[in-house]
Chains A and B, each alone.
Chain A
């Protein structure tokens, strides 16, 4: 759809809308706003005026009286805002939220349902738009993979849409070209029966694209469509295929499990890029009553890198990634599976043996409520073993479904085969859809070299990345927030991907490009999707397709689309044993060599978000590392090899070589290195270029997730890691910032201890009775806002950090400034280790402003820029602040953030569109801080007033961090109302105020972390 002839059509109300601006050529942000003269001259505008003011059109246009001019100007100004919306001509449906009616009003935020897919994980989302400008992403509560939450990556994807470095031009061999030239070039390519045609895409989760895939493969019977993801669920399918003889998706139900064993599955973070697993898991750990204590689930984790899931485990056993297979065999065998294999490490005093015995006993006792999950980075055999164990336990917490969109050539082996074909000249036309294999393919495939042998390589992508540079044609892709599409979860539940804005850079979708190749030259993404679904709706009896379509847009989920058939299957253990024995033995390297494990990054995923400032600056939940990755090693390994933080090492195996900086990770497995993918991009925008180390350089197709036999040698150079929490060795007790120094800031205990003595939490710090010599202000009138953060639920996933950044227009400061300690996140996650450095436990503590009633920051501000509101908020008047920083110095929590520089200085104009208009953008020299999202509080208060309601319902106001928290750890509300949820939580005995001994009376309080350790393992977490 081109912008020139667009007329906006909003579903409701039935107001004629203003015309969109004419934008020529490649759209950039600067051309976004145009003069009113320009606007008034367009034929659309005249036409529109004619319709809306039919009677006196002539007098208005011709008259030159002052009043007329003023009237016209007023109308123009009013409409200027509307025209800026660039709402597409296709109808989109706002999703009602709370009491807000489904109607459009200028200045009011609207939410549109859409859907996002990462690595085969599909999550329904809501896009908040202000006057046609998407500003924020939230989870869609009606979508089963979101449940209202959204991950950090999902929320930050909005910034990628506004990325000024995004691809905006068609490139032909790296030179500026046009869609017309591409079209002309296509005419010259003869595809024939498709024997030289290959498609290469990410995992296809779009039903309509599956339709097109089938169409394409039908038209070109000899063509192939290869799907490759840097991180996807292919091992899961291979594993179930091994176990059951058919590839199935595994659906763990964490809410139904009481004892969970994770075999290297970081389901709370990296291995589940959808938030619902965290939600379901943490619901099983919610403790509000005595009863809940009994019902709390127990999590065992076996892993190599210290993951978020490991940090939330009740018991964690570290081992190399390749050792997990044997561990799974041992569990299965000990449970009595007739595998006929030996259990290793049977020494009863061995930590592993004890762990194994306890887990097995616990799992057995849980029976149907036991659940074993295997991480997608583990090979098929481990997946199969997990299925077997679940079957043996009779677990009711897992189900299986048939994949509905699975292609025939998926995964790294398919990519390897493709690279082989490319090298041997069998591929004449390669269409790469939305992925960046020149960067992300394993190094041994040498994909760039293979690509150069393809005569016609066409790359569709969001950025001018490594593949774009190497391909013959590069086409700009439309971002998912600006284009039509559809995505379905692994269960088959489909959602329409509804655009919230027209393509900013004139990109096209994969479906459009494929449709063109199969002959539908002018098919638009909207029509592709709508026709597909009208077809499917049409198959339903007596259905009104158009109505169902509207409902689908509105709801964000298509009811009844869940086609993935749930299957009942069983594993034949003996058969599986044969397969297991037949598997090639892992090559054990010599004693000096190490294993390297690869992980998607919590920030940039596989590199596709490398140019996203919010994500680059979001600290890794465990290492607190921003702007880069590192070769993670255990303290013992670092010591034995004489490595310290920041040492550059060369990691080598054969031809594969990577120089990366070491970071010591307490709790990491010994003799192995973990490294995040997605960094070290060479052809990338300004934010992501040359940030971190490219782990793909040592990733090979045979050692896709972990591979042994690497040598590690110090190069002698050093590197500075930009961490947001001071890093030091755990041994140096007095001098590191990773321990609490007996300060009881994070309070943690076990369910058993807590049941014995609920006062325990309160007694961790003796707070003398503190009395002010002045009359203290009594905050007992009206609304008194407060927050309770449940540390038991919080996993430390970072979703709140990015939500806050999006909601409150928090600037990105860059690596240099992070190194200087100037990051701006209003809510941060402090991470504390405890225990032995080899096997520590970790607690994450979210830190927004505590809104102290006796706020130390307030009395020191010389100009009263920060003062207390009658509702108990520690308010900040940015335009009064002169920037003495005294308040920040005197803040015991250091949650005040100063604009040391103009962090918007180098920002492109277009990035300004992402800002929330309800929150001012702060200038340099000004202090800023969390205000409990005061703009959200006021918005709800105003709408209550407008509706004539006296009271705001508890739960109507949600702070941004609370709204998105997948673990539902944050509760906000009126503490003056004893029936509010927050007031009730604060009455719990594990509620405590941090630093209460200073008599600052924080409004944000914490619910102590409870762990549920197995008494047989010492009862200690």
Chain B
């Protein structure tokens, strides 16, 4: 698709974010994906979907096996009560951070470039939180009793929850986050759903989109209410971005275990979450761009901006690692000191150095503009970042637990095939949901992108005048 006719020199320096001729072209392009028939959808999409769906079935099988036999099918043991289960939970929750950050915080900061990616980032958030939710539920020994963590009256024991437990805070934080993110995402979808409704040809689509679009007619009054609602939700979501991962970090920070018991965790976890979230958005967008031919909407500028955020958060994370070591030494606490020496030089040193390589060293490549703008480089680095961030959680959880206070109770953890397949399975679920979303819902926030295009038109016109 041809770009907007602009001064070519300027375009190169500061290209427009939306490279589309007309509003209609935009609508066509985005809607076409959702309206395409089975055969019109690229074959590569169906192949990918069937693979991810198969992996999702694997997840189902693993969870069934887990519930039928018990946690023992995983590698968890004493002293390592939590291992891949909570590692995966924190990993997915972290990934779920980018969506809300992009939607809410960048919205409040009026970062226009967010519009092409916010819809998919928000969807990604929802799906990541869903994947995350699997683990706290299924990591319990008796998942059929897990509802006892909810403040639901239960007549069998008539006990309240323990509000001193960070796990209860987790339940509230994560469920609030999921609810608000879903609302936020849905609110943004309403005008676009109305577009789809208006274009729908079949009865079923008309009814479904009709119900989902909540009677949206695009009147000024609707727009006014919509903008207010969106702003309010953005304002509500913003603290949640910080709170969810802070509270997740309390699971560790409030404990007594050396390596967990540290006050640096909340900011450290939030930075890490943003870091991993952006990396995951990057991975997905590069794939989606390629699968669904969206290069004109998700431009190099979007990608480059995200890479800058990855560089910043990656460096914050690296700084946090250094601080932890410093404090471990400075505190004079022998248990704390041992925990950190053991991290770097103990039996799990390989995990620690994987983490350092992926999280601290590799993002530094983004100091170079050419690398920041290279699709293969950023794809690889987005993957290594996610690997590194998974290992960060693994290192915190497993290496701290495996050697705590009493050497007599030290142990070692190895995952079982069920651990591995369950984790892979969550990727299947995540990607399946994402692919279904990309195919059946407008993946680009049409109404917002159109708004940006309108502005850019004005902006570039002005520049054109100056150039003359």
Which A positions have Cβ atoms within 8 angstroms of B? 725-726, 734-743, 745, 817, 820-823, 828, 830-832, 845, 847, 856, 859-864, 877, 879-886, 888-890, 892-894, 896-902, 923-927, 995, 998, 1000
Identity of the chain B residue whose Cβ is nearest the Cβ of A902 in the assembled complex: B70
Identity of the chain A residue whose Cβ is nearest the Cβ of B166 in the assembled complex: A860
Could you tell me the distance between the alpha carbons of A738 and B167 in the complex, rounded to whole angstroms? 34
Closest 7 CB pairs of A and B: A883-B141, A925-B141, A830-B408, A900-B72, A885-B81, A901-B72, A821-B77
Could you tell me the distance between the alpha carbons of A856 and B255 in the complex, rounded to whole angstroms? 7
- Closest chain A CB from B247 CB (angstroms): 13
B162 contacts which chain A residues (CB < 8 A)? 859, 861-864
Which stretch, B17-25, B143-151, B211-219, B382-390, touches the partner chain A? B143-151
B342 contacts which chain A residues (CB < 8 A)? 734-735
Could you tell me the distance between the alpha carbons of A894 and B141 in the complex, rounded to whole angstroms? 18
Could you tell me the distance between the alpha carbons of A998 and B81 in the complex, rounded to whole angstroms? 21
Could you tell me the distance between the alpha carbons of A798 and B321 in the complex, rounded to whole angstroms? 44
Could you tell me the distance between the alpha carbons of A745 and B171 in the complex, rounded to whole angstroms? 37
Q: Is B451 an interface residue (CB 8 A)?
A: no
- Closest chain A CB from B147 CB (angstroms): 9
Q: Is B69 an interface residue (CB 8 A)?
A: yes
With A864-B159, A886-B167, A888-B81 as contacts: A735 and B142 at CB distance below 8 Å: no
Whether A822 lies near B159 (C-beta < 8 A) is no
A-B contact pairs, 10 of them (CB 8 A): A725-B408, A734-B342, A737-B403, A741-B407, A743-B335, A745-B407, A863-B148, A881-B141, A892-B405, A927-B141
Whether B257 lies near A832 (C-beta < 8 A) is no
A897 contacts which chain B residues (CB < 8 A)? 78
Choose from A737, A925, A995 the contact partner of B140 (Cβ within 8 Å).
A925
- Closest chain B CB from A778 CB (angstroms): 19
Could you tell me the distance between the alpha carbons of A902 and B69 in the complex, rounded to whole angstroms? 7
| Binary interface encoding of chain B residues 234-263 relative to chain A, with 1 for a CB under 8 A from any of its CBs, else 0 | 000000000000000001001111000000
Contact residues of B: prevailing secondary structure: loop
A830 contacts which chain B residues (CB < 8 A)? 406-409
- Closest chain A CB from B460 CB (angstroms): 56
Could you tell me the distance between the alpha carbons of A740 and B143 in the complex, rounded to whole angstroms? 38
- Closest chain B CB from A775 CB (angstroms): 15
- Closest chain A CB from B265 CB (angstroms): 15
Whether A890 lies near B256 (C-beta < 8 A) is yes
Whether A726 lies near B411 (C-beta < 8 A) is yes
- Closest chain A CB from B467 CB (angstroms): 64
Identity of the chain A residue whose Cβ is nearest the Cβ of B170 in the assembled complex: A862
Could you tell me the distance between the alpha carbons of A880 and B158 in the complex, rounded to whole angstroms? 10
With A860-B166, A880-B159, A900-B70 as contacts: A822 and B78 at CB distance below 8 Å: yes
Whether A900 lies near B76 (C-beta < 8 A) is yes
Identity of the chain B residue whose Cβ is nearest the Cβ of A739 in the assembled complex: B407
With A862-B149, A862-B167, A880-B157 as contacts: A889 and B81 at CB distance below 8 Å: yes
B366-407 contacts to A (CB < 8 Å): 401, 403-407
| Binary interface encoding of chain B residues 402-435 relative to chain A, with 1 for a CB under 8 A from any of its CBs, else 0 | 0111111111100000000000000000000000
Q: Is B60 an interface residue (CB 8 A)?
A: no
Whether B72 lies near A892 (C-beta < 8 A) is no
- Closest chain B CB from A896 CB (angstroms): 8
With A742-B334, A864-B162, A879-B157 as contacts: A899 and B141 at CB distance below 8 Å: yes
Whether A832 lies near B71 (C-beta < 8 A) is no
B77 contacts which chain A residues (CB < 8 A)? 820-822, 900
Q: Is B327 an interface residue (CB 8 A)?
A: no
- Closest chain A CB from B301 CB (angstroms): 45
A862 contacts which chain B residues (CB < 8 A)? 148-149, 161-162, 165, 167-168, 171
Whether B70 lies near A925 (C-beta < 8 A) is yes
Whether A860 lies near B167 (C-beta < 8 A) is yes
A923 contacts which chain B residues (CB < 8 A)? 142
Identity of the chain B residue whose Cβ is nearest the Cβ of A886 in the assembled complex: B167
Whether B78 lies near A864 (C-beta < 8 A) is no
A737 contacts which chain B residues (CB < 8 A)? 403, 407-408, 410
Q: Is B197 an interface residue (CB 8 A)?
A: no
Whether B142 lies near A926 (C-beta < 8 A) is yes
Could you tell me the distance between the alpha carbons of A817 and B160 in the complex, rounded to whole angstroms? 34
Whether B72 lies near A822 (C-beta < 8 A) is yes
List 15 additional contacts besides A741-B338, A901-B73, A924-B71; criterion CB under 8 Å: A726-B411, A735-B342, A743-B406, A820-B72, A821-B78, A830-B407, A831-B408, A861-B165, A884-B140, A885-B81, A886-B82, A886-B165, A892-B257, A893-B405, A898-B81
Could you tell me the distance between the alpha carbons of A765 and B149 in the complex, rounded to whole angstroms? 39
A856 contacts which chain B residues (CB < 8 A)? 255-256
With A822-B78, A863-B149, A889-B401 as contacts: A882 and B141 at CB distance below 8 Å: yes
- Closest chain B CB from A867 CB (angstroms): 8
Could you tell me the distance between the alpha carbons of A881 and B141 in the complex, rounded to whole angstroms? 8
A864 contacts which chain B residues (CB < 8 A)? 159-162
- Closest chain B CB from A833 CB (angstroms): 10
Could you tell me the distance between the alpha carbons of A845 and B162 in the complex, rounded to whole angstroms? 33
Whether B141 lies near A860 (C-beta < 8 A) is no
- Closest chain A CB from B120 CB (angstroms): 33
Max chain B C-beta neighbours (<10 A), residue from A817, A822, A862, A899: A862
Could you tell me the distance between the alpha carbons of A745 and B335 in the complex, rounded to whole angstroms? 12
- Closest chain A CB from B132 CB (angstroms): 15
Identity of the chain B residue whose Cβ is nearest the Cβ of A816 in the assembled complex: B72
| Binary interface encoding of chain B residues 156-199 relative to chain A, with 1 for a CB under 8 A from any of its CBs, else 0 | 01011110111110010000000000000000000000000000
A888 contacts which chain B residues (CB < 8 A)? 78-79, 81
Whether A926 lies near B141 (C-beta < 8 A) is yes
Whether A726 lies near B161 (C-beta < 8 A) is no
Choose from B164, B346, B408, B412 the contact partner of A832 (Cβ within 8 Å).
B408
